[in-house]
């Protein structure tokens, strides 16, 4: 075994960012559940509820002009067509440059 494999897999700052993002997601899910159980659904429309069940997570490369592509399988599964408006959350995974 080498010493390299014994260290952390991600830099501490990146791990902390992932952890905070995960905690925020759990908080939002708990908040939604409380609203649903407490009859607070009146503030949400059915499109918002349906959209929450239709999500995809994938990795892609940033292309020229800052463009990203949604893979075919995700577009098909979510019935996304050209011209549709989608919401994205971007988390850098790996940088291919020297800082």
pLDDT digits (tens, 9 = 90+) for 67-91: 999 999 989 988 999 999 988 888 8
Which residue is associated with the tokens 């893979």? Answer: 71
CB 58 within 8 A of CB 77: no
Per-residue pLDDT at 32: 75
Per-residue pLDDT at 25:
80
The confidence band for 6, taking pLDDT boundaries of 50, 70 and 90, is: low
Encode pLDDT of 10-44 as tens digits: 677 776 777 788 778 877 777 777 776 665 555 55
> Structure pTM?
0.44
């Amino acid at each position: 075994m080498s010493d390299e494999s014994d260290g952390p897999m991600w830099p501490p700052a990146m791990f902390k960012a992932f952890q905070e993002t995960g905690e925020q997601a759990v908080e939002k899910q708990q908040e939604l559940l409380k609203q649903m159980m407490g009859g607070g659904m009146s503030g949400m429309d059915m499109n918002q509820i349906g959209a929450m069940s239709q999500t995809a997570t994938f990795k892609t490369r940033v292309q020229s002009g800052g463009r990203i592509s949604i893979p075919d399988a995700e577009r098909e599964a979510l019935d996304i067509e050209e011209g549709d408006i989608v919401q994205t959350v971007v988390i850098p995974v790996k940088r291919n440059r020297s800082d």
